[in-house]
Amino acid sequence: MSAHDVLGPGQKGLFIGGSWREAEGGETFAVHDPADGSVLARVADATVGDAMDALDAAVAAQAGWARTAPRHRSEILRRAFELINARAHDLAELMSLEMGKTIAEAKGEVAYGNEFFRWFSEEAVRIHGRWMQNPAGGSRLLTVKKPVGPCLFVTPWNFPLAMGTRKIGPAVAAGCTMVVKPAELTPLAMLALAGILAEAGLPDGVLNVIPTTRAADISTALMADDRLRKVSFTGSTAVGRQLVRQSADQLPRVSMELGGNAPFILFEDADVDAAVEGAMVAKMRNMGEACTAANRFLVHADVAQEFAEKLATRMGKLVVGRGQDAGVDVGPLIEEKAVRSVDQLVTDAVHDGARVLTGGTAPDGPGFFYRPTVLIDVHPESEINSREIFGPVAPIVTFTTEEEAVARANATEYGLAAYVYTRDLSRAIRMAESLECGMVGINSGLISNAAAPFGGVKASGFGREGGFEGIEEYLETTYVALPAGW
Ligand code: NAD
């Protein structure tokens, strides 16, 4: 199958005001297959003028969309959910091609991403304010929820579909219109999604998708326009900081889902085999290219050797190859730069004294592959412990006390996810309370769930996606004071 089988010829254009069109000047850019570097498709390359057209379309649609019945918006999302389910295989192949992940992982992402449409189709009809008596008696206090207005969504390449549905689902449910700028490395899944939402009955102009190679120019222009009322960004902390600075002029609402440096903490009382299973998910989901990926393995000295050997055995058996091929467990990284960055972190860690138990190199040949790697005796100050690895590498550092584990875990500017393995319930609770992060998995390597609030603290950003909290990011509260006697 090729990308052209899923997306029609027009569907590689810009989606603005309900129509597919070319970019101003007809410019396009290439989308590559990371398994061999070949060109999969060419996609329209939006200019600043195109982006402003997309914002015009979103602004024009906003008032009418905000007036629609919540049930109507709910049913559009539900129809989109059904259509995505029916096309899950094609969407998974498309994502596997453009991003490299295996078909099984891509199917997992389709299912996970689609849950946000189901969840927010259910939340759309439960938006409510409150009515209460003034504590001093007499008058009444009312609150009314309203959509924030036109939004800009900027999404990353690692989960091309789910990072979109996590924003689009609640925005549709709340009655917001939007301009979506997908990552230039993986725009195809978002274009497919735009077609599906249109088919599900989303009115023209509510969702506009503008792939581009001019991300900074476009976001700068859009954020300078006071009609834009919300920016939700998922990506690196460096770009997030830039967007937060830019938001100071027009002060749109801002949500930031940024980088992570998750600790995976294994205590001496834990079930080591279960921890190995959890580590395989927390580390290897998406080839390690996940913001929630276990980045630092902090393991009690008593179980470190056993855990490291068992993990290395499992990691060493994984088959690396093209994501669409049968029997492959680990696809390529997204681009050559990513392989060089992972390799440099491993080389530096080894230089600082780490031992390689498995992997540690990139295979020869075309494509951007890296072997699943386990490092033991990693120096706590090695750069691999402070940077997001974004690859299939598990560095192990040992500790001896709970206090030391907490201090090491929190010794990072990031605060997205953490994983804790212990059989001691009170310790698990203490850890959840003392770790500086937005999400904690206890004896679990998988935390993402549409019904849960996803997000971070510190340099991992602010705002939550999913759960009951997710829709609040797209709602404003108007307080209405009523006098006594009404
Ligand atoms: P990135 O910051 O390079 O790019 C993210 C998006 O921002 C892309 O669409 C890109 O085109 C756009 N962009 C780049 N420069 C920009 C600029 N100057 N102005 C406006 N937009 C710009 O990140 P990436 O490499 O695509 O994604 C990986 C990063 O995303 C990792 O740090 C990862 O941890 C993070 N991430 C976070 C979450 C989360 O929910 N917290 C989820 C997935 C990925």
- Tell me, in angstroms, the distance from the centre of ligand 1 to residue 237's CA: 8
242 lines ligand 1 (CB under 6 A): yes
- Tell me, in angstroms, the distance from the centre of ligand 1 to residue 180's CA: 13
Residue closest to 31 by CA, chosen among 121, 195, 125, 160: 160
Q: Which atom of ligand 1 is nearest to the CA of 159?
A: 43
- Tell me, in angstroms, the distance from the centre of ligand 1 to residue 234's CA: 5
* Sheet containing 151-154: order of strands: 19-21, 14-16, 207-209, 178-181, 151-154, 230-234, 253-257, 461-462
How far CA 204 is from CA of 155, 199, 201, 474, in Å, comes to 21, 11, 9, 20
Q: Which atom of ligand 1 is nearest to the CA of 155?
A: 9
Q: Going from the N-terminus, what domains does the chain have, and what CATH number goes with each?
A: 3-259+460-479 (3.40.605.10), 262-413+417-449 (3.40.309.10)
Q: Tens digits of per-residue pLDDT, 208-235?
A: 999 999 999 999 999 999 999 999 999 9
Q: Supply the pTM of this predicted model.
A: 0.97
- Tell me, in angstroms, the distance from the centre of ligand 1 to residue 58's CA: 23
416 lines ligand 1 (CB under 6 A): yes
What pLDDT was estimated at residue 6?
77
Positions in the chain short of pLDDT 70: 1, 4, 9
What pLDDT was estimated at residue 485?
84
What pLDDT was estimated at residue 333?
98
What pLDDT was estimated at residue 1?
66
435 lines ligand 1 (CB under 6 A): no
Amino acid at 334: I
| Structural tokens at position 310 | 């068992």
100 lines ligand 1 (CB under 6 A): no
Q: Which atom of ligand 1 is nearest to the CA of 334?
A: 25
- Tell me, in angstroms, the distance from the centre of ligand 1 to residue 400's CA: 36
User: Which of 158, 166, 179, 245 should be mutated for ligand 1, with most atoms under 8 A from CB?
Assistant: 158
- Whose tokens are 């930031």? That residue is 256
Q: Catalytic positions, please?
A: 257, 291
What pLDDT was estimated at residue 379?
96
158 lines ligand 1 (CB under 6 A): yes
By alpha-carbon position, which residue is closest to atom 22 of ligand 1?
A: 215
DSSP secondary structure, 27-90, as one string? -EEEEE-TTT--EEEEEE---HHHHHHHHHHHHHHHHHHHTS-HHHHHHHHHHHHHHHHHTHHH
